[in-house]
């Protein structure tokens, strides 16, 4: 029972931090009308839905429907969120020829769970996509001098790795850590503490990921 209570607190904090991030992203959206902010709000919303379903499962596990062999709504949402992550990367790189890849890969990964009792492939999928997202965002952060991206990359990486956890408390802890990375990214913590030059600091002030995709 203690495990469920601790996990519940972690998940509630995760949801709260995501709401703060969404408010920030919404204000960015109002400023620059860049749809990347909306995509991020959507990604965070799907994470929140997954967290709410996790909370429900702590108290009423019978409410979590299972489709086929092992596909339940929580895992399905996790697959959707990882597919959105992949779409996010493709969108940032403007690889429009590959936009259907997340849908197709998500479909086949879900089908694996529908037909077989094996979590190996969804796990691999989530770990690979989360790692790719992290690596990509770190490179972009360095290239664009935008350390805010680092926070986002760490968020995706930590969230992706939370799926390895065998106990709900470990998973929820990872979720919380991921949300802390996100919040520190949004609060310009990395810019303030990792950048040494005042000039660079000034250059990056008020800079957000949307700058990457604004077409001039």
Partner 1 sequence: MTVEDIFLTLGILESYLSITIIPILSIILIIKAVKQKKRTGEWSYIRLLIIGAFLSFCWLLFWEFLFDRTNIKELIPIEIFGQHSSNFSIYNFGLLLIVTFGLTLITYANGWRSMYFTPFFVLIGMFIFFLITGFGEWLLPYIYTSAILSLIFLYITAFRIKDNGSLGLAIMFSLVLSTIIVPDLVRSFIPQIGLYLNYAYHFFGIFLATGYFNPLKKVGGGQE
| Residues binding partner 1 (CB under 8 A) | 96-101, 104-105, 107-108, 111-112, 115-116, 121
Q: Which is nearer to partner 1, 55 or 90 (CB)?
A: 90
Minimum Å gap between C-beta 98 and partner 1 is 7
Report the half-sphere exposure of 124 (CA within 13 A, side-chain side): 8
Q: How far apart are CA 26 and CA 55, in angstroms?
A: 26
Give me the sign of the Cα torsion angle 118, 120, 122, 123.
positive
Helix (H) or strand (E) holding 99: none
Which residue has tokens 């005042």?
A: 198
Shortest CB 93 distance to partner 1, Å = 14
- 31: CB partners within 8 A, 6+ apart: none
Helical spans, DSSP H, in 33-72: 35-59
Question: How near is the Cβ of 103 to partner 1 at its closest, in Å?
Answer: 8
User: From the CB of 99, what's the least distance to partner 1, in Å?
Assistant: 4
By C-beta, is 112 or 168 nearer to partner 1? 112
Question: The tokens of 196 are what?
Answer: 């040494």
**C-beta closer to partner 1: residue 100 or 193:** 100
- By beta-carbon proximity to partner 1, the closer residue of 118 and 203 is 118
Cα maximum dimension of the chain: 57
Separation CA 165–CA 40 (nearest Å): 25
Complex with partner 1: residue 112 or 191, whichever CB lies closer: 112
Cβ 199 to partner 1 shortest distance, Å: 40
């Amino acid at each position: 029972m203690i495990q469920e209570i601790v996990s519940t607190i972690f998940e509630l904090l995760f949801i709260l931090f995501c709401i703060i991030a969404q408010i920030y992203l919404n204000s960015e959206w109002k400023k620059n009308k860049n749809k990347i902010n909306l995509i991020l709000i959507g990604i965070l919303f799907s994470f929140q839905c997954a967290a709410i379903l996790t909370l429900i499962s702590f108290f009423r596990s019978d409410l979590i429907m299972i489709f086929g062999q092992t596909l339940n709504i929580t895992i399905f949402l996790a697959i959707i969120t990882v597919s959105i992550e992949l779409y996010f990367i493709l969108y940032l790189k403007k690889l429009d020829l590959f936009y259907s890849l997340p849908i197709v890969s998500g479909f086949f990964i879900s089908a694996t769970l529908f037909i077989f009792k094996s979590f190996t492939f969804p796990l691999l999928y989530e770990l690979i996509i989360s790692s790719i997202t992290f690596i990509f965002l770190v490179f972009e952060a360095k290239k664009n001098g935008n350390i805010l991206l680092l926070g986002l990359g760490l968020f995706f990486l930590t969230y992706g790795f939370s799926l390895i956890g065998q106990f709900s408390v470990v998973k929820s802890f990872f979720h919380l850590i991921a949300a802390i990375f996100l919040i520190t990214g949004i609060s310009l913590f990395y810019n303030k503490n990792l950048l040494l030059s005042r000039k660079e600091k000034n250059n990056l002030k008020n800079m957000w990921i949307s700058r990457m995709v604004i077409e001039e």
